[in-house]
Amino acid sequence: MKRELIAIVVTAALLIGAAASQSSWYPRSENYTTTGWFVGDGLYLSGDGIIEGNLTVTGAITNTALDERIGAIEDDVGDVTNMTTTATDLAGAIDELDAEIGDISTLDTTEKGSVVGAINELDGRVDAVESPPMWHVQTITTPTAATSDEVLNETAGAITTDGTNISAANMTGTIDAARCLILTPGDSMTGDALLTGTNVNDEDITETIAWNASANATTTTQAFKTLTWANFTTDTDTSVTIGYSDKLGLDAIPSDADAVMFTFLGGVMETTLPTVTIGPTVAECLVDLNSTLTGEDDVKIYVYEAV
C-alpha cells in the first residue's frame, strides 16, 4: 500500500511538472526567448520574429504574403529558360547584354543617357533624310527683255514742279510679269516718285524712288506685277520714263539664295546660275537670269525646299 501511494505521488509530480514546463512556452501571447533548440511539430508563428543564427527547416514553410510577392516577381521576370543570351541566369544575362551594348556615354548622338533616346534621335534623322524634297517650280510666261519706257514713255511721263500723279489708265503700257522697274528722269532733278501697285501674289506694295540733282536711271528693289499709280514731285519740269528690268519676281521666299537650283529659258537649262536676291518680303525676292530674256520663251525656276 505504501509502495502504491509513493507511485501515485511521483506520477502526479511528473504530470504537474510537464504541464508547467509546457505552459511556459506554448501557447504564449508574450515574447518568447530561447537560446537552445526550438522544435515544433506543426509549429505556427504569427507577428514579427527575429532569428539570430542559423535556421534549419526540415519541412515546408508556408507564408501566403511571401508566396504572392515571389509569384509577382517571377511574373515580372518571366521564364529565364526562354532567354536568348548565352547566360541562363538573370544577373549573367544582364551583364552579357550590358557588354554587347557597350558604353552609351560614347555615343555620337546628342542623347547619351539612354539607348531608346539615342535610337529615337537617329530615327528622326533618318526620317529627315528619307523625306523627299519639295521642288517648287515657278513658270513666268514669255517675259520680254529689259526696256526703258515700256510702261511709261517720255510723253506720257511729263512731270511738273506742281506735282504730277499718273494713273495706270494714263500709262503707256502694262507690266508683262512681276519684275523690277527702271525709272529714268529726262533731266537732272531733285525729287521723288511714289509707286503704288501689287506684287506677284496680287498683294499691295509701294516704293519710293528719290533723286538728288540726278538724272540717273534707278531700279526698284521690289518686283511689280501691276503699277496703278506713279506720283511725282520735282524741282524742275521734266519727264520720267518707266521700263522693265531683267530682274524677275519670285512668288515665294526661299530659305536662301542657294535654294534656287535651276533656271530654264525656253526649255533649255541655264548653265550659269542666276543672280538671286532674297529679301524680307516676297516682292523683294528676285532672280536675274544669265541669258537675255526674249519675250518668246517661258522662264522656269526650280526652288529646292526640304520638307
* pLDDT band at 5; cut points 50, 70, 90: very low
Determine the pLDDT at residue 150: 95
- Of 243, 294, 244, 284, give the one whose Cα is nearest residue 264: 294
Determine the pLDDT at residue 104: 75
Contacting residues for 73 by C-beta, under 8 A, at least 6 apart: none
Contacting residues for 134 by C-beta, under 8 A, at least 6 apart: 304, 305, 306, 307
One-letter amino acid at 214 equals S
Determine the pLDDT at residue 2: 41
Domain ranges of the chain: 95-130, 134-142+250-305, 158-246
β-sheet bridge partners, residue 181? 244
- Of 204, 208, 205, give the one whose Cα is nearest residue 191: 208
Contacting residues for 5 by C-beta, under 8 A, at least 6 apart: none
Average pLDDT, the chain: 82
Determine the pLDDT at residue 119: 78
Q: Do strands 134-140 and 299-305 pair parallel, antiparallel, or not at all (unpaired)? A: antiparallel
Q: What would the grid cell of residue 96 be?
A: 552579357
From residue 234, how far is each of 167, 209, 264 by CA, in Å?
17, 12, 42
Cα–Cα distance measured from residue 283 to residue 251, given in angstroms and rounded to the nearest whole number:
8
Of residues 175 and 125, which shows the higher confidence score? 175
The predicted-structure confidence for 73-92, as pLDDT tens digits, reads as follows: 777 667 777 778 887 787 88
List phi, psi (to 5°) of 264.
-125, 140
Determine the pLDDT at residue 75: 74
List phi, psi (to 5°) of 291.
-80, 160
Give percent above pLDDT 70 in the chain. 73
* pLDDT band at 96; cut points 50, 70, 90: confident
* pLDDT band at 30; cut points 50, 70, 90: low
Which of 14-28, 81-95, 108-122, 281-295 has the largest mean confidence?
281-295
CATH class of the domain at 158-246: mainly beta
Burial 164-176 (b: 16+ CB within 10 A, else e): bebeeeebbeebb
The helix/strand/coil state of 288 is strand
- How many residues does the structure list for the chain? 307
Q: Do strands 189-198 and 204-214 pair parallel, antiparallel, or not at all (unpaired)? A: antiparallel
Q: How many CA atoms lie within 13 A of 230 on its CB side?
A: 31
Determine the pLDDT at residue 237: 97
Cα–Cα distance measured from residue 241 to residue 301, given in angstroms and rounded to the nearest whole number:
29
* pLDDT band at 70; cut points 50, 70, 90: confident
